[in-house]
Amino acid sequence: MSIPIKPSLTASILLLATLHLVGCGDQGTDQVLKLGHSLPTSHPVHKALEQMALQVQQASQGTLRMDIYPNEQLGSEREMVEQVQLGSLHLVKTSASPLEGFIPEIGVFTVPYLFDDAAHLWETLEGEIGRELLDSGKGKGLIGLCYYDAGSRSFYTKERPIDRPGDLEGLKIRVQNSKTAMQMVEAMGGAPTPIAFGELYTSLEQGVVDGAENNPPSFLSSRHYEVCKFYGLDEHSSVPDVVLVSEAAWNRLTEAQQDIIRQAANDAAMFQRELWQQETKRALETLEAEGVEISRPDKAPFRASVQALHESYRNTPVGDLIARIRQLRTAPSE
């Protein structure tokens, strides 16, 4: 069951504004679908969403249009998910982490050290489990369209490298608004601090937090490397991004329109994965050139530090998903 939500001021304003848009049920007329996300326009995610918008417009012969609002223009990821749930925003690209407050089962992706490697991750996402989780928001106002690659998240800090879990002791670490992410940092000895992504640069600069965790392209594009000069690639979690559509808006589309959007979403997702691999390599090279000290710590102590967290999911829906994902485990890539 989704958690109760209170419409934010932003959501209420958007809800009123939506009344002035052409309704999604008016077949044969131009329709505008608004999509929000939290990342800059230089990010691979934004470029993929632009391709999706272009394909939707071309395939619909201009009767469907997607307007994209990057950089948290419409609120934080959690706020935008709430707006999609309410129907005042049509689509959102969000990390899976904030979604566990709306769809508890999807919190499985935030469990640290769940996947062996990228092959294991995509075997899960592209298979039965991944499809089930995209569909699990139905009836809660949310329909999942596809997954985007968000790589692996690692810690970056201002004053010292994180080469073992004990290095987090005494540090305030920004995390997404995710219960599991907070439990993970606590298990490793740090103090988790949820902060909206758009507020993080200033929070790092002013010492509100001592560090954060994210993937290389996001660390680079956010320019957090200007403040944090230590990046330890512990790769504690591989949390995918998800593109969601409002169930209310979706149900007002024709079947043909739904097919256009699904196909465009899937094609853009494959494009985004290609961009992601290129951007990850470039990001790490650029970060080193900018003076960031990049380390590759032994992951074994980090894995050991979160075993109790894994065990805490026994006999729960998330625990059942963990067991199913473990059964899919592939041999580590050579």
Q: Which pLDDT value is given to residue 7?
A: 39
> Is there a single domain that holds both residue 256 and residue 121?
yes
Pairing outcome for strands 230-237 and 241-246:
unpaired
Q: State percent of the chain over pLDDT 90.
A: 84
Say if 106 falls within a structural domain: yes
In a domain, 2, yes or no: no
pLDDT tens, 232-277? Answer: 999 999 999 999 999 999 999 999 999 999 999 999 999 999 999 9
Residue 73 — very low, low, confident or very high, per pLDDT cuts 50/70/90? very high
Percent of the chain whose pLDDT exceeds 70: 90
Do residues 18 and 40 share a domain?
A: yes
Q: Mean pLDDT throughout 146-173?
A: 97
Let me know whether 97 and 13 are in one domain.
yes
Would the pTM count as exceeding 0.75?
Answer: yes
* 332 domain-assigned: no
Residues 77 and 64 reside in one and the same domain: yes
Q: Mean pLDDT, the chain, as a whole number?
A: 90
CA proximity to 146, closest of 59, 250, 254, 261: 261
**Domain-located, residue 333:** no
Question: Same domain for 262 and 162?
Answer: no
CB neighbours of residue 141 within 10 Å: 21
pLDDT digits (tens, 9 = 90+) for 97-143: 899 889 999 989 999 999 999 999 999 999 999 999 999 999 999 99
CA distance 30 to 26: 8
Do 32 and 63 lie in a common domain? yes
- Whether residues 314 and 204 fall in one domain: yes
Going by C-alpha positions, the residue among 54, 62, 64, 71 that lies closest to residue 90 is 64
Task: For residues 110 and 252, state if they share a domain.
Answer: yes
Pair 39, 173 in one domain: no
| Whether 202 and 259 share a structural domain | no
Question: In the chain, how many domains are there?
Answer: 2
Does any domain span residue 1? no
Distances (CA, A) of 64 to 20, 70, 134, 156, 313: 16, 19, 23, 41, 43
Q: What is the pLDDT at residue 329?
A: 77
| Residue 249 covered by a domain | yes
What's the confidence (pLDDT) of residue 178?
Answer: 86
- d(CA 191, CA 184) in angstroms, rounded, equals 10
CATH code of 119's domain: 3.40.190.170
Q: pLDDT value at position 26?
A: 43
* Residues spanned by the domain of 301: 153-238+291-327
Residues 13-54: pLDDT tens digits? 343 344 333 344 444 458 999 999 999 998 999 999 999 999
- Residue 3 within a domain: no
User: 223: how many CB neighbours lie within 10 A of its CB?
Assistant: 11
Does 122 share its domain with 223? Answer: no
- Per-residue pLDDT, averaged over 54-64, amounts to 97
- Whole-angstrom Cα Rg for the chain: 20
The pLDDT assigned to 284 comes to 97
Residue 315 CA: distances (Å) to CA of 113, 119, 264, 318, 320: 19, 27, 38, 8, 7
Res 304: pLDDT: 96
Whether 321 shows a pLDDT value over 80: the answer reads yes
Identify whether residues 189 and 308 lie together within a single domain.
yes
Residue 334 lies in a domain: no
* pLDDT tens readout for residues 286-317: 999 999 999 999 999 999 999 999 999 999 99
What integer pLDDT is reported at residue 275 of this predicted model? 95
